[in-house]
Amino acid sequence: MCSRILATRELSEKHTGENIRNAVDEILMEFNALRPGNVYITDNASNMKAAMQGRSWLGCAGHNLNLVLAHGLKPSGTTEPRPRVVTEIENQNDEDGGELLQDESISGVSQLIALSKSMVAHVKRSRIQAKLPTTLKQSVSTKWNSVLTMLKSIVSNMDELKKLADEHGDRMLQRSLLDINTELLRQTVGVLEQFDAATRTLSTDLRPSLHLVYPTKVQLKKHLLPKDGDGPVIINLKQQLSCKLDSHFPIKPLHLAATILDPRLKNGILSAQEKADAVQMLRSMMSEVEVISDSAPSEIQPELSNPPKKRKVNMLT
């Protein structure tokens, strides 16, 4: 397998589905690559879907996972969570099982992320950043799994951050570190790490990965089941991510067909209906394959009729 960029072109017209389709077709025709059997992989933008309408198309699995996290880490009905300053009294209510804990749900993780972003931005503007053993990483919406990268950078620097905050008398940093629930931070990292591993597994262009899309979803669904020791906030986070996985990570017949063709995956992972859908997809694909004539060229007939003899293997005892 190989990966090549055929062309990089400016699209001066409006980025409508029709214009994108025409630009793609023009490039493919230059390389004699506009063929009926092509399968197109793009992101899930509406104009890209419109451009590939009527063709064999799949949404990028890595982009789908990014959408799951983007929607799953926000509380329902909000666009951007605001940091919440927790007072000593509120912390005491948390420990006593008061009302604050009951109201947190997914917003607890959203507030954790917002507080972390604010703290990282402050540290990067100060002298403290240069004294850390490893730099803090800021979350960037256009970079996949950057929330996890940010939270992990805070976890690895937590002790040093507390020490430097006291040495510099940085009251803003001290307050931010008090506001961040360290245990929730570590548990959130544990949940998100599996999404990062899944993204890395599927983000490849030098080896096949289509057959891994469905198993990846199955494994993530198992990972998101509540476990002993999960608090209400983590349970709610898992439930929301699981819901978003159903809505933003679709499985198509082509995924099932690829899965059933892998001997390691054909048994035990697909349901009876999924197997039937996969077989139907394979039959449909095979019906479109051009049948080769029985009259093979004479120079290759001996090779077809006389397969190479098996070589004896000496077994060591």
Whether 103 and 234 map to the same domain: the answer is: yes
Q: Note the pTM of the prediction, 2 decimals.
A: 0.78
Residue 164, SS3 per DSSP: helix
CA–CA separation, 246 vs 260, rounded Å? 21
Whether 271 and 176 map to the same domain: the answer is: no
| Predicted pLDDT at 308 | 63
Contact, 40 vs 20, CB < 8 A? no
CA–CA separation, 114 vs 117, rounded Å? 5
What is the per-residue pLDDT across 260-300, written as a single tens digit (0 to 9) for each?
999 888 777 888 999 999 999 899 888 888 776 665 554 54
Closest-CA residue to 80 (of 143, 139, 154): 139
Read off the pLDDT of each residue in 54-62 and give the average, rounded to a whole number: 94
Whether 29 and 166 map to the same domain: the answer is: no
- State the total domains in the chain: 3
Whether 113 and 143 map to the same domain: the answer is: yes
Residue 85 has pLDDT above 50, yes or no: no
| Predicted pLDDT at 77 | 52
Q: Is residue 70 part of a domain?
A: no
| Predicted pLDDT at 297 | 54
Residue 137, SS3 per DSSP: coil
Whether 157 and 261 map to the same domain: the answer is: no
Q: Is residue 69 part of a domain?
A: no
Read off the pLDDT of each residue in 15-21 and give the average, rounded to a whole number: 96
| Predicted pLDDT at 235 | 94
Whether 3 and 52 map to the same domain: the answer is: yes
Whether 107 and 183 map to the same domain: the answer is: yes
Of the two residues 81 and 291, the one the predictor is more confident about is 291
Q: Is residue 228 part of a domain?
A: yes
Whether 99 and 153 map to the same domain: the answer is: yes
The rounded percent of the chain whose pLDDT value lies above 90 is: 67
pLDDT range class, residue 219, cuts 50, 70, 90: very high
Q: Is residue 297 part of a domain?
A: no
pLDDT range class, residue 110, cuts 50, 70, 90: very high
Q: Is residue 197 part of a domain?
A: yes
Whether 118 and 22 map to the same domain: the answer is: no
Structural domain of 36: 1-59
Whether 208 and 197 map to the same domain: the answer is: yes
Number of Cβ atoms within 10 Å of the Cβ of 111: 23
Read off the pLDDT of each residue in 2-17 and give the average, rounded to a whole number: 92
Whether 145 and 132 map to the same domain: the answer is: yes
Longest dimension (CA), the chain: 90
Write out the H or E segment, with its range, that includes residue 42: strand 39-42
Read off the pLDDT of each residue in 36-44 and give the average, rounded to a whole number: 91
Q: Is residue 237 part of a domain?
A: yes
Whether 17 and 33 map to the same domain: the answer is: yes
Q: Is residue 68 part of a domain?
A: no
| Predicted pLDDT at 291 | 73
Q: Is residue 129 part of a domain?
A: yes
CA–CA separation, 212 vs 210, rounded Å? 5
114's tokens: 């917002």
Residue 312 has pLDDT above 70, yes or no: no
